[in-house]
Amino acid sequence: MNPRLANPQYNFKEGTILLVDKPLEWTSFDVVNKIRYKVKHKLGVKKIKVGHAGTLDPLATGLLIICTGKFTKKLNDLQGLVKEYTGTIKLGATTPSYDAEKEEDAQFPIDHITEEMIEKTRQTFLGDIEQIPPIYSALKVDGERLYKKARKGIMVEIKPRPVHIYDFDIQEVRLPFIDFRIKCSKGTYIRSIAHDFGKVMDSGSYLTGLRRTEIGDHHVDDSWNLEELIEYIDNMEIPPEED
């Protein structure tokens, strides 16, 4: 049942799990910070633990699992759950960030690409694969986030990382765009899959849209709209402290 319809009672101080639909252009930290600020103000406390179970890029939307209080101890387990995404790949061009955050930096032919070729390419991404994370990512190398190194123009050798793709379905082909659904392991960069997809077909490609729909058994359909969650926190009744 959608929590907004279930009249939930959360104990933020002791610990709770929140499902939140991250808005476009918000960072995952922005969402955590907003909730932490509102809860601290509502409870009248100086500190409260709040964290999320897996980063979403600013240009992605969808499911974030937020934990508060003692439930933040569950974050590592939640991060390891299988995740599902839907999104769109654009063929025929690349960007330095592997998504629409940066401008297109190269163009490639797509006249030779057929639906049969797309299907064969899809199959190469199933199961255990290795991928190189985007240079514009939050992955740390030598103690510094990769995107910070990229903005400084520092070249970094990024080693391939093993991930597992459980399902990868092409939902619609409308060249130059391909709509997809993917189910994958922890640590998978969908932007890297989008970038590599065109490369396999002797072209280029990048991610133009992404939405996380599932984390384990948790589904985005059961999540809070962030504005509604903030309104709920502002208006919730705080039970009196026991003597």
Q: Taking Cα atoms as reference points, which of 10, 11, 31, 14 lies closest to residue 22?
A: 31
Whether 57 is catalytic: yes
Q: 């009248």: which residue's tokens? A: 44
Q: For residues 163 and 133, what is the distance between their CA atoms, to the nearest angstrom?
A: 11
Close Cβ partners of 158 (under 8 Å, ≥ 6 residues apart) = 132, 133, 135, 139, 141, 146
- Among the options 57, 111, 196, 234, which is catalytic? 57
Q: 């970094």: which residue's tokens? A: 156
Burial class (CB in 10 A: 0-12, 13-18, 19+), 35: buried
Q: Report the amino acid identity of residue 101.
A: E
Q: For residues 235 and 22, what is the distance between their CA atoms, to the nearest angstrom?
A: 21
What 146-155 contacts at long range (C-beta under 8 Å, 24+ apart), as own/partner pairs, is 150/96
Give catalytic residue positions. Answer: 57
